[in-house]
Amino acid sequence: MVGFVNWKITQLVQRRQYHSGITIVWTTGSDTVAFCQQISKECEKQRIAGCTVYYSSRSHDAAELSAILAAEQPHLPFYGCSTCGEITPDGMQDYGAIAVLLPTKWFEVSIQVIEQVDSLGMHAVSQQASEHKTNFLAQLNTSNTDDIYATLLIDGLTYSEEPVTAALARGLGSIPLIGGSAGDDLAFTGTSQIVNGKSYSRAAVVTLTKCSLPFSLYTENNFVPTPHKLVVTESDPDQRTVKEFNAEPAAIAYANAIGLSHEELSSRNYASHAVVVRVGGEYYCRAIQQHNDDLSLTFFCAIDNGVVLTVARSEGMVRSTRAAIERIEHQVGKIDVMLGFDCIYRKLDAQHRNVVGRMESLYQEHNFIGFNTYGEQFNSMHINQTFTGVAFGHPL
């Protein structure tokens, strides 16, 4: 794959620090111990409010990673999840790990784990979020939420992102939310999360962050709707599966709409020919995960009978992402670091269109750090195929 590191050969651990003191540690290989030791070294240089760790489950065992890091730095608050690739200061990579360390000079962080989110119920999720908010504000001795944002890392295979995100938004009130669905390198067998020495699955990790730097939350996609409409006429909402579009087998109807046969369908096609739904005058992607032997399609997001989807085409990813970053710069000034979530289908689409190098250059130019997800969250919505996160301006 053009632009990606060969993980079997390169076993490096690197670090980079930005003007604000935000420090990034990353590895292109599978040496978990060396990775955790470098994080520990960084913690000896400055006080760290919180550390986020994104890792490939193919190269790093969640329980081992969490235990080693906790042993190296017993007092370090850390949290993270498995990925479909990481975005480092060197660009995009597969099968490695990356850590983001936020200094106490600018940040205060509180971490909450909500277990078994796919069976907990919206009221319980909302209540836990509300209690988390109350406790954090009490800890800060303030009622002002203007400089606080929330981050969600959720198991991307629980099919629960929509209700959980909506419930969290209700519980958090005025605090804005961004998030990413954990991945497993497109294996679709199981994702994981880590918090302070423990590992989890079927969980949501919610962090509240108070930030003294200028910051702005953002989300962006690069889809243009076409005239092709697909109406869900039969589905299994619990499994996020569409059996029929327009009273035809879903895979056949979708393939016909994008000019292919259903035998040709692949993740690359889904990435390049998204389907979108219109909400409040804006279009939001509903990404297809896979096609099944019975000609049904399984989605990364909620789906139901009667939903009208529009086939969209992906165009101008580099141009639209650059325009989004320019809008952010108008809000925060010169960008120090951007942290966030980039959908795995954006990476696949970039590969298909041979713009990986250009996207990497754009991300490096504006210090974008993050991971490739199975979906993104923005305020009360679960969305797909977006570039979502938080940007920090230079210290004033």
Identify the three-state secondary structure at position 264: helix
Two structure tokens written together for 25: 């540690």
pLDDT in tens, 206-223: 999 999 999 999 999 888
Amino acid at 92: M
pLDDT tens, residue by residue, 190-205: 999 999 999 999 999 9
| pLDDT score for 224 | 86
Lowest mean pLDDT among 41-50, 91-100, 110-119, 314-323: 314-323
Q: Write down the pLDDT at residue 25.
A: 98
Q: Report the 10 Å Cβ neighbour count for 106.
A: 19
Arithmetic mean of pLDDT, 307-322: 91
Asked whether the predicted pLDDT for residue 5 surpasses 60, the reply is no
- pLDDT exceeds cutoff 50 at 6: no
**DSSP type of residue 301:** S
Percent above pLDDT 90 for the chain: 89
Query: Distances from the Cα of 174 to the Cαs of 132, 150, 171, 331, 353, in angstroms?
Result: 14, 10, 9, 19, 39
pLDDT at 284: 87
Q: Is the pTM of this model over 0.85?
A: yes
Name residues whose C-beta falls within 8 Å of residue 313's C-beta, 6 or more positions apart in sequence. Answer: 223, 224, 226, 272, 273
Length of the chain: 396
What is residue 7's predicted lDDT score, i.e. its pLDDT?
35
**pLDDT reading at 155 higher than 80:** yes
Mean pLDDT, all residues of the chain: 94
Examine the pLDDT at 1 and tell me if it is beyond 80. no
pLDDT band of residue 283 (cuts 50, 70, 90) is: confident
Q: Which position has the higher pLDDT, 7 or 391? A: 391
Give the number of other CB atoms < 10 A from CB of residue 316.
13
